[in-house]
Amino acid sequence: MTSLFTSHRLGGLTLPNRVVMAPMTRIRATAEGLATPSMAAYYAQRATAGLIVSEGVQPSLIGQSSPGTPGLHTDEQVTSWQPVTEAVHANGGRIFAQIMHGGRVSHPDTTGVQPIGPSAVAAVGDVFTPTGPRPAPVPRALDTAEVAEHAQSYARAARRAVDAGFDGVELHGANGYLIAQFLASNANLRTDRYGGPVANRIRFAVEAAASTVDAVGGARTGIRLSPGAEFWGVRETDVRKLYTELLTELARLEVAYVHLEATVDEETLIGLRRAWPGTLVMNPVQPMGPKQTGRDDADHWLGLGADLISFGRAFIANPDLVERLRGSLPMAPADEATYYQGGDAGYLTYSSHQYAA
């Protein structure tokens, strides 16, 4: 069976191991969406991962979901990310930027504008704002002529990511954000070429991926998906057909990888592995569920055909996660209260494993 600690070729990169640091929102950017020196230190501490995928980065102001998240839509934001990528590379790592358009999961108090979505259907739940949680507002439904602009925003951000020194980008097509909203049959009520049958519901995702591949190349483009998930109230019909057809189109584009979350039954996920001919990154446990990904989960999915395994929360308190996994060392617990509070506490204050004298 493939080992978690063998190398893997991904596009133009050779990953020294198959451990991927999953994207995790940490709310540490400035009010202007700039990356900070603390963010450079945070990612550099975790550079032994085969690949780091950054927190979600908005491709436009209207694409911002929560306050305190970074962007890649201004020259100043590009400049602010350069010390981050330089720090990761100096420590021997590789890093992709996750491009995340929130779509309807946003609020005017955060961006100053009404959120947009495939249809005028509000997300389920409260969204984060500068003054605290607020009910998700009804988004403005995009006109057909506007949709391409938002698909292309991923590509524009990808070009900026490469300028900032990132090794590539991952499109956030999961967890109820804009791409997932177009895939969902209850958030996407459109009757034009972007709504209705599966071939139409996958169109936005395919156009976003295609424009990104045109901008930075397939070897630098990945996408994260959460089949059957119901984050922010999205619901999908014909899940297996929906994602099989989407993976077929992504294979034609020759994107570097697909990153799947374990948000549907294992049989369906195995079927999607068979439908996808390229590199598969697997996140083996339900995001934000009660269990964190461990070594057994990783080995299980490597045995089922995954190429790389992503670890999320385990990386928060264990910057040396690869070494801990390799040596079967105990995992430090993370302080959930500091996930999103800002500052360096619970961000830069976790240390590597200390061996007894």
Q: Please identify every residue annotated as catalytic.
A: 177
Map residue 98 onto helix, strand or coil: strand
CA nearest neighbour of 151 among 204, 196, 98, 191:
204
How far is the C-alpha of 171 from the C-alpha of 167, rounded, in Å? 14
Give Cβ neighbours of residue 355 (< 8 Å, ≥ 6 apart). none
| 317 membership: H or E segment, kind and range | helix 314-317
Q: Return the beta strands (E) in the chain as ranges.
A: 8-10, 13-15, 19-21, 51-57, 95-99, 116-117, 126-127, 134-135, 140-141, 168-172, 221-225, 257-261, 279-283, 308-311
What one-letter code names the amino acid at 64? Q
DSSP, res 235: -
- For 185, phi then psi, to 5°, come to -75, -15
What number of residues does the chain have? 357
Distance, first Cα to last Cα, the chain = 35
Name the β-bridge partners of 296: none
Give Cβ neighbours of residue 175 (< 8 Å, ≥ 6 apart). 226, 229, 231, 232, 261, 287
Count CA atoms within 13 Å of residue 194 on its CB side.
Answer: 27
Give Cβ neighbours of residue 159 (< 8 Å, ≥ 6 apart). 215, 216
For the record, the structure tokens of 62 come out as 């209207």
How far is the C-alpha of 255 from the C-alpha of 236, rounded, in Å? 23
- State the sign of the Cα–Cα–Cα–Cα dihedral 175, 179, 181, 185: negative
- For 217, phi then psi, to 5°, come to 95, 150
